[in-house]
Amino acid sequence: MKRKYIIITGGVLSGLGKGIAIASIGKLLSHDYKVVPIKCDGYLNVDPGTMNPIEHGEVFVLDDGGEVDMDFGHYERFLNVDCKVDWNLTMGKVFNEIREKERKGDFLGKTVQMVPHVSNFIRNRFIEIGEDSKADIELIEIGGTIGDMENELYIDAVRSLARKVGKENVLFVHLTYVPIPFGVDEQKSKPTQQSITLLRKRGIEPEIIIARCSEMLNGKIKNKIASTSNLNNEEIITGIDVDDVYKIPLVFENQGLSQLLARKLNIPIKADLTRWNELIKNKEEAKKEINIAIAGKYTSLEDSYASIIEALHHCSAHFLVKINVKWIDTSEEDIDLTDVSGVIVPGGFGSRGTEGKIKIIQKCRENKIPFLGICYGLQMAVIEFARNVCNKSSANTTEVDENCEYPVIDILPEQKKIINKGGTMRLGAYPAIIKKDSLVYSLYGLDQISERHRHRYEVNPKYHDLLEENGLILSGLSPDGSLVEFIELENHPYFVATQAHPELKSKLEKPAPLFKGLIKAAIKYSEQSELPYQPPILEELRIDEDFVRIDESLEEDEGFGEAENSFEEFENGFRESHL
Ligand code: GLN
C-alpha cells in the first residue's frame, strides 16, 4: 500500500479540539494500520519545554526525551504508539535547521526563501518521517487557525505534498465551528464557509468537514455546507460537544467516518471500538464516588496537569468509580483534607507552594491518607521525611534553598555546569530496578521497569542511608544504584512516590500502575475511614499486569547521556559542593 497522508486544518477559532479530532481519526485506523501522528506548531520556540505551563499547558515528554506539545498526549493515549520528538515540528526547529543548512553551503548560490525552500523542507520532512517510521498512514495536524500568518508555510507544505505524493494519497480534513448564537437559535454556516474560502485561496480543497457544534448538525445546514464546498452531506461530520473526549471516536464512527475514510483513501478499514466502548460505559455507569486532591502550583489551569487527570480517568473506567478532583493551591494557608480519599502531589518547579506541599504530605503520612508523589512530589516527600522523621528540621532542596544545611534533594553535578535552559533536564525514559518485596513491585509485577522523566534534581546519595535507617523504603533505584526512582512507606495504606512521571504512559486500556494502586487504596480508605487503621496486605494491592516492559536497549543505564559521570564522580560532585 502506498503511504497515505491525512491532514487536518482548523478554521474559525482555536481550541476546537483538533488534537482530539485527529487522535480519534487515528483511533479508527490504528486497528489495521501503523499510524504516525505529526504536529506542526507555528511558534519560534524550538520546543514547549521552556514555555509556561499556565499559558501552554502541560509539556508532554516522550521516551526519547523529546519535550513536545500536549497533543502528543492525546495521540499516544488514543493510538497506542510511542511518538518521536521529530514528529513535533515547530517553526523554531525548522528555522534552526534551515539556517544550519545555509551555513553549510547546502543552498550555495541561491537566495533562500520562505517559499519554496522552507515549505519544501517541511514537505520533505513529512515524507522522511513516513519513510523512517514505516508509517502506513501519517496524520498531520497543522496548528492554529487557517489564516494565521505563522502557519502559512505548513499550509504551503501540505499543498505541495499532495502534488509530490499523488492527490489520491492525501486527504484534507477541515475542523470548523457551527455556532448557534443566543437569540437566533439556529445553526449558522457562515464562519465555516469563510474558512473554506481561506483554504481554497491557498490551493486546498477539504474533502471531509468536521463541524464542532453543541447539537448534531441538521439536514439544512449540512446541505448548505456541502453545496458550498462541493461535498456530499455524508462528508460533513458533526463534532458534537461531549463531556468526555474518549467518546469522540465513537461519535465519529456512529456517523460512518471509518467507511468514509476507507472510500476516500481507497483502503479497507475495520475499526474495532468494542473494548473502548466498554471502558467508557464503565466510567459512565460508576456509582461510587471518591475525591482525590491534587496539590500543586498551577491548579488554576487544569491543562498543566492534563496527563494526571487522564490517568485518573483511566482508573475511573478500570475500577468503575467516579473520581472528583479537588484542586488544592499549596501557596494558600488553609489546607483541608477532610473529604478526600487520596492525595497527589504532582511535578513542579521553584519555591512557591513548597512548604504547603510538605505540610500536606505530612498530613497524609501521619493520618494514613493514600498519597502519590510525582517527581517534585517525591522530592517534597523526602524533605518531609528528613525533617519530621529523621529530625533534620532544616532539610530542603537546593532548588528552594541553595545553601541549606541538609540538602536531601540536590542538583546533579553534571547539571550544574549547564547554563542553557532548553532540553537540558534529565528527560525521557530511564530504567529502574525495583525491590522484589516492595509495594511498587507488586503494582508493576516487574523488577525492571521504565518510566519517563523530566527533572534536574535528585535525592542526594549522601542521605540514602539516613533515610533508609529511619524507615523510608527506597523501592526503586537506577540500575547503578545511584538515583532514587521510587520510595514507599510501610505501615501506611498507600504512601508511594516516584521521581518519574508515570501519568505520561497511562492509557484507558492500561492505567498506570501507581495510579491504580492509589485509587484502589483510596476506594478502600473511603470505605474504611471510620474504622481504625489496618495495614494493607500487599497481595491485595497487587495488580497483575505486564505493564511496562523494559526496553532492551535501555538495559544499561545511559544515565545522563554523554555528560554522564560515574557514581563516584557524582558523589564527589556532591561532596565538593556540600562538604
Ligand atoms: N523541580 C524539580 C526538578 O527539577 C522537579 C521537576 C518536576 O517535578 N518535573 O528536579
Q: Is the pLDDT of residue 339 over 50?
A: yes
Q: Is the pLDDT of residue 387 over 60?
A: yes
Per-residue confidence at 508, pLDDT binned at 50, 70, 90?
A: very high
Per-residue confidence at 576, pLDDT binned at 50, 70, 90?
A: very low
Element (H or E) spanning 180, and its range? none
Greatest CA separation for the chain? 81
**C-alpha–C-alpha distance, residues 318 and 540, integer Å:** 16
Cβ of 456 below 6 Å from ligand 1: yes
Question: How high is the mean pLDDT of the chain?
Answer: 88
Predicted confidence at residue 108, as pLDDT, reads: 84
Residue nearest to atom 6 of ligand 1 (CA): 455
Percent of the chain topping pLDDT 90: 77
| Nearest atom within ligand 1 for CA of residue 346 | 8
Predicted confidence at residue 563, as pLDDT, reads: 29
How many secondary structure helices (H) and strands (E) does the chain include?
20, 21
pLDDT digit string, tens, across residues 232-264: 999 999 999 999 999 999 999 999 999 999 999
Q: Is the pLDDT of residue 224 over 60?
A: yes
Weakest-pLDDT range from 54-68, 189-203, 418-432, 540-554: 540-554
Cβ of 363 below 6 Å from ligand 1: no
Predicted confidence at residue 564, as pLDDT, reads: 31
| Nearest atom within ligand 1 for CA of residue 425 | 4
Which one of 380, 396, 456 would you pick to mutate in the ligand 1 pocket, going by the greatest count of ligand atoms within 8 A of its CB?
456
Is residue 293 within 8 Å of residue 490, measured between CB atoms? no
The SS3 assignment for 429 reads strand
Cβ of 107 below 6 Å from ligand 1: no
| Catalytic residue chosen out of the listed positions 375, 390, 458, 485 | 375
**C-alpha–C-alpha distance, residues 306 and 56, integer Å:** 11
pLDDT digit string, tens, across residues 424-461: 788 999 999 999 999 999 999 999 999 999 999 999 99
pLDDT digit string, tens, across residues 551-563: 333 333 333 333 2
Instruction: State mean pLDDT over 289-305.
Output: 80
Nearest to 409 by CA among 363, 349, 452, 491: 349
Indicate the residue type of 576. Answer: E
Per-residue confidence at 530, pLDDT binned at 50, 70, 90?
A: low
**C-alpha–C-alpha distance, residues 448 and 434, integer Å:** 6
Would you say how long the chain is, in residues?
579
Per-residue confidence at 116, pLDDT binned at 50, 70, 90?
A: very high
**C-alpha–C-alpha distance, residues 18 and 174, integer Å:** 9
Which one of 454, 485, 504 would you pick to mutate in the ligand 1 pocket, going by the greatest count of ligand atoms within 8 A of its CB?
454
**C-alpha–C-alpha distance, residues 475 and 241, integer Å:** 44
Cβ of 59 below 6 Å from ligand 1: no
**C-alpha–C-alpha distance, residues 14 and 146, integer Å:** 10
Label each residue of 84-143 as H, E or C.
CHHHEEEHHHHHHHHHHHHHHCCCCCCCCCHHHHHHHHHHHHHHHHHHHHCCCEEEEEEC
Q: How far is the CA of 375 from the centre of ligand 1 (A)?
A: 6
| Catalytic residue chosen out of the listed positions 67, 76, 138, 503 | 503
Cβ of 375 below 6 Å from ligand 1: yes
Q: Tell me whether residue 83 is one of the annotated catalytic residues.
A: no
pLDDT digit string, tens, across residues 28-60: 999 889 999 999 999 999 888 878 777 778 899
φ and ψ at residue 68, rounded to 5 degrees: -130, 170
**C-alpha–C-alpha distance, residues 322 and 316, integer Å:** 6
Which one of 354, 375, 378 would you pick to mutate in the ligand 1 pocket, going by the greatest count of ligand atoms within 8 A of its CB?
375
Residue nearest to atom 7 of ligand 1 (CA): 347
Per-residue confidence at 568, pLDDT binned at 50, 70, 90?
A: very low
Q: How far is the CA of 58 from the centre of ligand 1 (A)?
A: 13
**C-alpha–C-alpha distance, residues 153 and 23, integer Å:** 23
| Nearest atom within ligand 1 for CA of residue 399 | 1
| Nearest atom within ligand 1 for CA of residue 348 | 8
Q: Tell me whether residue 375 is one of the annotated catalytic residues.
A: yes
Cβ of 559 below 6 Å from ligand 1: no
- Could you give the domains of the chain? 4-272 (3.40.50.300), 280-578 (3.40.50.880)
Cβ of 424 below 6 Å from ligand 1: no
Predicted confidence at residue 502, as pLDDT, reads: 98
List % helix, strand, coil for the chain (3-state, nearest 5).
45, 20, 35
Q: Tell me whether residue 501 is one of the annotated catalytic residues.
A: yes
Q: How far is the CA of 158 from the centre of ligand 1 (A)?
A: 38
Q: How far is the CA of 347 from the centre of ligand 1 (A)?
A: 6
Residue nearest to atom 5 of ligand 1 (CA): 376
Q: Is the pLDDT of residue 214 over 70?
A: yes
Predicted confidence at residue 547, as pLDDT, reads: 36
Is residue 295 within 8 Å of residue 360, measured between CB atoms? yes
Within 10 A of 59 (CB to CB), how many other CB atoms are there?
21
Q: Where are the alpha helices (DSSP H) in 230-353?
A: 248-254, 257-265, 274-285, 306-319
Predicted confidence at residue 562, as pLDDT, reads: 30
Cβ of 510 below 6 Å from ligand 1: no
| Nearest atom within ligand 1 for CA of residue 453 | 9
Is residue 493 within 8 Å of residue 533, measured between CB atoms? yes
CA dihedral sign, ordered 200, 203, 209, 214: negative
**C-alpha–C-alpha distance, residues 577 and 579, integer Å:** 6
Nearest to 556 by CA among 474, 448, 441: 448
Tell me how far CA of residue 336 lies from CA of 146, 288, 501, in angstroms.
46, 22, 26
Could you tell me if residue 321 is left (phi over 0), alpha (psi between -120 and 50 degrees) or otherwise beta? beta
| Nearest atom within ligand 1 for CA of residue 349 | 1
φ and ψ at residue 472, rounded to 5 degrees: -80, 130
pLDDT digit string, tens, across residues 319-336: 999 999 999 888 766 778
Cβ of 353 below 6 Å from ligand 1: no
